[in-house]
Structure 1
């Protein structure tokens, strides 16, 4: 092959790469966000990203474990986070309004000393086999904070 043919082939291939990247589908149909951290900034960022995913058409579900389970309690009022002066639980409730399910880990209530009636409206207690099924679903991406 002549040198000019290699150059033409290389140029054609390099022009096709951006088209291939644009044509690939990076969308996620479902996202399961696991939040374990007691850090307000981490909790807040998990909810901010969940809302951003939801705004892009992804079905978002949230599982709160350990200290993050406190977000699910009616009595929890966290500090507002900059720059939008919102709390992680306000961001979580926005997710719920958009159709997200929010659950606490099955171990949270019995180990926190709280009863089910202490949970915010619309928050469930996760059932391990059902949660495992969500985590293993091929159309679900799992994110952990």
Structure 2
């Protein structure tokens, strides 16, 4: 009887968590890491989110901002044989909104015209509003 009660409570909790997940609008991703494997994990989880028909809003800061720059190389990783930059472009094609933080370009001595097509410079009030929106889950790498 005790096991049945524990199983019932656990299943109710899992059902509730699943229902909550379905109400989520999407994912905020803040990516700062220079590490290619960390960058790739952010891209993979973003792609999985898009495949579940949820939104992805990604902000690239610090070293991760290099992913947004035309001509900058990105390490190809196994087992997919794709780089984080290749995955970034794929998630953008699927509708992810990608931006660089406003500190990235001036501190890298770059201008906005070096950004890949579709990537913009973030507006802090909009990023903050998205981070505070409880309809989005936030991941930071």
Do the structures match in fold with TM over 0.5? yes
Q: Which has the larger radius of gyration?
A: 1
Structure 2 segments unaligned to the other structure (5+ residues): none
User: TM-score, with normalisation over the residues of structure 2?
Assistant: 0.90
SS at match of 2:89: helix
Q: What is the total number of aligned residue pairs between the two structures?
A: 137
How far apart, in 2, do the equivalents of 1:74 and 1:135 lie? 27
User: TM-score, with normalisation over the residues of structure 1?
Assistant: 0.87
How far apart, in 2, do the equivalents of 1:16 and 1:66 lie? 46
SS at match of 2:74: coil
| Equivalent residue, structure 1, for 2:8 | 16
| Equivalent residue, structure 1, for 2:65 | 69
- Deviating beyond 3 angstroms after TM superposition, the runs of 4 or more aligned structure 1 residues are none
Of the structure 1 ranges 49-58 and 126-135, higher mean CA displacement relative to structure 2 is found in 49-58
SS at match of 1:114: coil
Deviation readout 1:79-137 (Å, 9 max, x if unpaired):
21111100101111111111110000011111111110000000000001111111111
| Equivalent residue, structure 2, for 1:95 | 91
How far apart, in 1, do the equivalents of 2:107 and 2:28 lie? 23
How far apart, in 2, do the equivalents of 1:121 and 1:21 lie? 43
SS at match of 2:116: coil
How far apart, in 2, do the equivalents of 1:106 and 1:63 lie? 10
| Equivalent residue, structure 1, for 2:48 | 52
Which of 28, 39, 46 aligns to 1:32? It is 28
1:23 to partner: Cα distance: 2.3
Report whether the alignment pairs 1:104 with 2:96.
no
Report whether the alignment pairs 1:129 with 2:125.
yes
